[in-house]
Amino acid sequence: MSKNSSKKKQEEHDLKGTLISVLGIGAFIVISWFIVFALFVAR
Amino acid sequence: MIKNSVALNKLDSKLVMAHMYVAFISLFIGGLMGLLQTLVRSGTLVLPFGISYYQLLTVHGVILALVLTTFFIIGFQFALMSKTVGMSDKQRDSAWFGFWIMLFGTVTTAITILLGKANVLYTFYAPLKAYPTFYIGLALVVVGSWIGCFTNFRQLYVWKKKHPGEKSPLLAFMVVINMLLWFIATLGVAATVIIQLIPWSLGMVDTVNVLVSRTLFWYFGHPLVYFWLLPAYMAWYAIIPKIIGGKIFSDSLARLAFVLFLMFSIPVGFHHQLTEPGIDPVWKFIQVVLTFMVIIPSLLTAFSMFATFEVTGRSKGYTGLFGWLKGLPWKDVRFFAPMVGMITFIPAGTGGIINASNQMNQVVHNTIWVTGHFHLTVGTTVILTFFGISYWLIPSLTGRKLTKKINTLGMIQTIVWAFGMSIMSGSMHIAGLLGAPRRSSYSTYGGSEQATEWIGYQIAQAIGGSILFIGIILMVYIFFYMVFAAPKGQEEFPIAEVSEDAEPTPKFLENWKLWIGITVALILFAYTIPFLDIIHHSPPGSPGFDKIIR
Ligand code: HEM
Ligand SMILES: [Cu+2]
């Protein structure tokens, strides 16, 4: 397996959708976290 | 290379199927209890014959979280090992031996619970005390699973001997990581059960050190959830790419994620004990920081999955920022069910981060939010992935086909499950934020005003729970159909290959001594001082209570 991967041309994949998706997940986590944090602060 | 589509040999199939029968029968019993719980909690149903709510809840937790998961996982992992590194007659014998011990233990524990002698819930926190056979049965389940561990270790070892210098097959590597995690983690729960709880329950000692036993339990309890999750990740990383007609994005990334899970899922049990007195806050803080380290392999996994999907979609000619989504086989239940599981992991994982954050833990601790959380993680992400695996694993083991009809029924099952769970888990999350407690039977709390806010959500949970139970019936039907009735044929055992563009996997990723060494070092670091502290400053032990919750 390592053989054929080493010398094949390393064309770059287009991973823009992946980037946006993962950033979206990150944003979702941060927003949810702050919503509950606000609840903690308010109580 | 691995020959795809050829199923396992007959003997290995039988072994795996034995585990699957236990798993799916457990699903049915546990699901029924779940339904009854939601009905009781909403004030819709009063249990007949003096059956206790907590007896149901104990059955539900034990049979779904401990029995279903363990049997499915060990069976699935034997299938993966047999497929990738093979299984000798001797190894198969020891696997069967482990299976029978686990089954014997399960039956022993089940009888004790059904006789009403163990209303202690699946976490069996002292000083709640069960009849000794409850603990003895559980100990046997653990011992049986250890036999499974060592059988898997042996399988890979023998393969490595025969293939010097080669890297191990990815799935075999993953199975061994998961079993290492399980073995190291269960040492803790075995210690409290064997050293503390069994002698205490037998009356050989009068009291039990509650904090020590809870600490040992949670030393096991958090890695337990990763023991459930990692087999789902095995399917995501190494099987789904094949099903969608793609390749594994990166073998190294997959192995790295698994290694990180091994290292960071054990020295973190204190995040379940944040509200507990008697543990130094400094060590709670350290373990919370270690907990947050598992976000790294989790996001690595998210990235890896999206990348696999995007590369595959684009290679099929779909363009645009999200056009590749159309390149995925949405109508193939082997993809659809785990995919819904993956999507569910976004809110599920987020909830976990909130739970583990010290301040927010005070908002949600022991509320039904927590129950909502793990019905997303284990009750949806993991379970839907396991269902997704079953759609090809069961027919490939029984020499039958996954028919179009079952595929459609499976799609419906997935949608029913996702829909019912959104309602049930969603209302659990909200009610929890409003302060509704978990693990409590129906009560108006003396007419308290706050409690009136909860009842609408309890009813929503009962509606969601009823829909979920339909999902359970569908799945159990699908299982037995695939075992006994589907047309004969050959179903593919899908194992993906690594992308040609992936970098070669570096050798150090398979340095077992290094990974085990770091894991043990982290555990010793995170637990030694606080644990000695706990023992040193213990209050007097507690007598047992076996009549407190009925
Ligand atoms: C028909 C589907 C299901 C329904 C209706 C259901 C319902 C419930 C309810 C209402 C509770 C909490 C009650 C309380 O805290 O008082 C509960 C607890 C629990 N459920 Fe489920 N559930 C279902 C499926 C599952 C599945 C598939 C799993 C895991 C694989 C699971 C694992 C658990 C666990 C571990 C608990 C905690 C028990 C405890 O607190 O001791 N459930 N379930
Ligand atoms: Cu945890």
Q: What is the pLDDT of residues B35-62, one digit of tens each?
A: 888 888 877 777 778 788 888 999 999 9
**Over the stretch B112-149, which tens digit does the pLDDT of each residue have?**
998 888 889 999 998 998 999 999 999 999 999 999 99
B122 in ligand 1 pocket by Cβ < 6 Å?
yes
User: Domain B10-497+512-536, CATH 1.20.210.10 — does that match?
Assistant: yes
Chain B closest CA to A10's CA: distance in Å? 6
pLDDT tens-digit readout, B400-458: 999 999 999 999 999 999 999 999 999 999 999 888 899 888 777 877 888 888 888 88
Give the residue ranges of DSSP H helices in B115-169.
132-162
Distance of CA B477 to the CA centre of its chain: 22
* H runs (alpha helix) in B266-382: 281-293, 295-315, 333-356, 358-364, 368-376
Q: Inter-chain contact A36–B303, Cβ cutoff 8 Å?
A: no
Q: Which of B68, B122, B371, B454 for mutating ligand 1's site (highest number of atoms within 8 Å of CB)?
A: B371
- Ligand 1 lined by B231 (C-beta under 6 Å): no
In degrees, rounded to 5, the angle at the alpha carbon of residue B419 between the alpha carbons of residues B444 and B369 is: 40
Do the chains contact at B350 and A36, CB–CB below 8 Å?
no
Q: Identify which of B60, B62, B422 to mutate to test ligand 1's pocket (most ligand atoms within 8 A of the CB).
A: B60
> What's the pLDDT score for residue B211?
93
Residue B550 has pLDDT above 80, yes or no: no
Tell me, yes or no, if B72 is annotated catalytic: no
Is the CB of B379 inside a 6 Å radius of any atom of ligand 1? yes
pLDDT at A11: 54
Residue nearest to atom 16 of ligand 1 (CA): B439
pLDDT of res. A6? 41
DSSP state of B304: H
B87 Cβ contact list (under 8 Å, min separation 6): B12, B78, B81, B95, B155
Please, is A34 exposed, middle or buried when counting C-beta atoms within 10 Å of its C-beta (0-12, 13-18, 19+)?
A: exposed
Do the Cβ atoms of B205 and B199 come closer than 8 Å? Answer: yes
Res. B3 pLDDT band, cuts 50 70 90: very low
Q: Tell me the C-alpha distance between B544 and B197, whole Å.
A: 10
Separation of alpha carbons B337 and B341, rounded Å = 6
Measure A30 CA to nearest chain B CA, in Å: 8
What average pLDDT does this structure show over B279-290? 91
* Distance, CA of B209 to CA of B426 (rounded, Å): 37
Q: B5 pLDDT exceeds 60?
A: no
Collapsing DSSP states into helix, strand and coil, what is residue B400?
strand
Q: Does A12 touch chain B (CB under 8 A)?
A: no
Number of domains in chain A: 1
CA-proximal residue: ligand 1, atom 9 (nearest): B34
Distance CA B65, CA B73 (A): 12
For B327, how many CA atoms within 13 A lie in the half-sphere containing its CB? 22
Name the token pair of B374.
Answer: 């793990």
Peptide bond into B127 cis (omega under 30): yes
The pLDDT assigned to B39 comes to 86
- Closest CA in chain B for residue A20: B321
Smallest Cβ–Cβ distance between A6 and the set B251, B497, B504 belongs to: B504
Task: Give CA–CA dist B543/B208, Å, rounded.
Answer: 7
What is the extent of the structural domain holding A29? Answer: 1-43
Share of chain B above pLDDT 90, in %: 64
For residue B507, pLDDT over 90 is answered with no
The listed range with the strongest mean pLDDT (A2-6, A39-43, B490-494) is: B490-494
The sign of the torsion formed by the CA atoms of B227, B229, B233, B239 equals positive
In this prediction, residue B549 carries a pLDDT of 61
Answer with the residue of higher pLDDT: B364 or B391: B391
Q: Check pLDDT > 90 for residue B90.
A: yes
pLDDT of the residue at A12: 65
Q: Which of B311, B353, B357 sits opposite A13 (nearest CB)?
A: B311
Report how far apart, in Å, the C-alpha atoms of B219 and of each of B181, B191, B197, B526 are: 12, 11, 16, 10
| CB neighbour list of residue B449: distance below 8 Å, 6 or more residues apart | none
Cα B310 to the chain's mean position, in Å?
28
pLDDT score for B357:
86
Q: How is chain B split into domains, by residue range?
A: 10-497+512-536
Question: Which residues of chain B neighbour A25 with C-beta distances below 8 Å?
Answer: 299, 302, 346
pLDDT band at A10 (very low <50, low <70, confident <90, very high): very low
Please count the other Cβ atoms lying within 10 Å of the Cβ belonging to residue B398.
Answer: 19
Q: Which long-range CB contacts under 8 A does B404-411 form with residues at least 24 apart?
A: B406/B333, B406/B478, B406/B481, B406/B482, B406/B486, B407/B331, B407/B332, B407/B333, B409/B474, B409/B477, B409/B478, B410/B333, B410/B336, B410/B337, B410/B478, B411/B331, B411/B333, B411/B336
What pLDDT shows up at residue B427?
94
Say what the pLDDT of residue A2 is: 42
Q: In which band, very low, low, confident or very high, does the pLDDT at B332 lie, cut at 50, 70 and 90?
A: very high
Residue-level pLDDT at B194: 95
Determine which of A18, A19, A32 to mutate to test the interface with B (most B C-beta atoms within 10 Å): A18
Are B347 and A32 a contacting pair at CB < 8 A?
A: yes
Question: Would you place residue A8 in the very low, low, confident or very high pLDDT band (cuts 50, 70, 90)?
Answer: very low
**Which pLDDT score is estimated for B509?**
86
Q: Is B28 in the pocket of ligand 1 (CB under 6 A)?
A: no
User: Shortest Cα distance from A14 to chain B (angstroms)?
Assistant: 7
Top residue of B248, B322, B354, B495 to mutate, by most chain A CBs within 10 Å, is B354
Predicted TM-score (pTM) of the model is 0.92
pLDDT at B388 over 50: yes
Residue B211 CA to ligand 2 centre (angstroms) = 17
Ligand 1 atom nearest residue B368's Cα = 15
B88-92, B107-111, B245-249: the lowest-pLDDT one = B245-249
User: Does pLDDT of B93 surpass 90?
Assistant: yes
HSE, side-chain direction, 13 A CA sphere, residue B538? 17
How confident is the prediction for chain B on average, in pLDDT? 90
Is residue B152 over pLDDT 90? yes
User: What share of chain B has pLDDT > 70, as a percent?
Assistant: 98
Per-residue pLDDT tens for B159-175? 999 998 888 999 999 99
**ipTM, 2 decimals?**
0.79
Ligand closest in space to the Cα of B274: 2
- C-alpha B536: how far from its chain's center? 34
| B92-106, B236-250, B412-426: segment of lowest average pLDDT | B236-250
